[in-house]
């Protein structure tokens, strides 16, 4: 969950890619809603915990430099305002 927006990283469209590598490791490529998100360390830890609870192997989270926009959300209406 993004603690400030109170929506999941999935609902926000922040998870951009998931790879299962060999040797066994899960690589998550994600972005943040703002470049200097103060919650980034907590969100990364939460993503790692969620992934390893489903796929019991090492998980690496890579933060992409891309700029986020509500257009990346499956349902931008979840934000509760028009942009």
pLDDT class for 81, splitting at 50, 70, 90? low
pLDDT tens-digit profile of 18-76? 999 999 999 999 999 998 899 999 999 999 999 999 999 999 999 999 999 999 999 98
Nearest CA among 49, 64, 46, 52 for reference residue 20: 52
C-alpha to C-alpha distance for 9 and 37, rounded to whole angstroms? 13
The answer to whether 13 and 73 have CB atoms below 8 angstroms apart is yes
> Where exactly are the structural domains of the chain?
1-68
pTM above 0.95, yes or no: no
Whether the pLDDT of residue 83 is over 60: the answer is no
């Amino acid at each position: 969950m993004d603690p400030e927006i109170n929506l999941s990283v999935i609902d926000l469209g922040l998870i951009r890619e998931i790879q299962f590598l060999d040797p066994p490791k899960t690589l998550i490529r994600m972005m943040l809603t703002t470049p200097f998100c103060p919650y980034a360390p907590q969100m990364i830890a939460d993503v790692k915990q969620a992934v390893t609870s489903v796929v019991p192997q090492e998980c690496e989270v890579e933060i992409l430099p891309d700029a986020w926009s509500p257009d990346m959300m499956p349902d931008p209406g979840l934000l509760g305002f028009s942009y």
